[in-house]
Amino acid sequence: MLVCICQSLLEDPSHVVRSLVAYGICKICAVYWSYIPADVIKTLLTSLVQKHAWDSSNIQVRLSVVNVRMPVCFSLPDVRLQ
């Protein structure tokens, strides 16, 4: 359910909504990494990296993904996405 809601919000026509959702997804993943199933994290982060880090409609969306992606990567307790 979380994935469906986040995916639909990431497809919102408003760049402000997409930017906030991208930021929120990365923050939630960083804080609750151990409690979220690996396939959910992989789906959400893959969507962010493959699609929204390259969002051509607005730089704010790209920056929100890039700015919080690095802290997420460095705060992970273990790597479960392999």
Residue type for position 64: S
The pTM of the full predicted model, rounded to 2 decimals, is 0.70
pLDDT tens digits for range 15-74 = 888 888 888 888 888 788 888 888 888 888 888 777 777 777 777 777 777 776 555 555
Between CA 47 and CA 8, with CA 60 as vertex, the angle to 5 degrees is: 40
Q: List the helix and strand counts (H, then E) for the chain.
A: 4, 0
Classify each residue of 3-18 as buried b or exposed e, where b means 16 or more C-beta atoms within 10 Å of its C-beta. eeebeebbeeeebeeb
pLDDT value for 71: 56
Question: Which one-letter DSSP state was computed for residue 73?
Answer: H
d(CA 79, CA 65): 19
d(CA 61, CA 1): 23
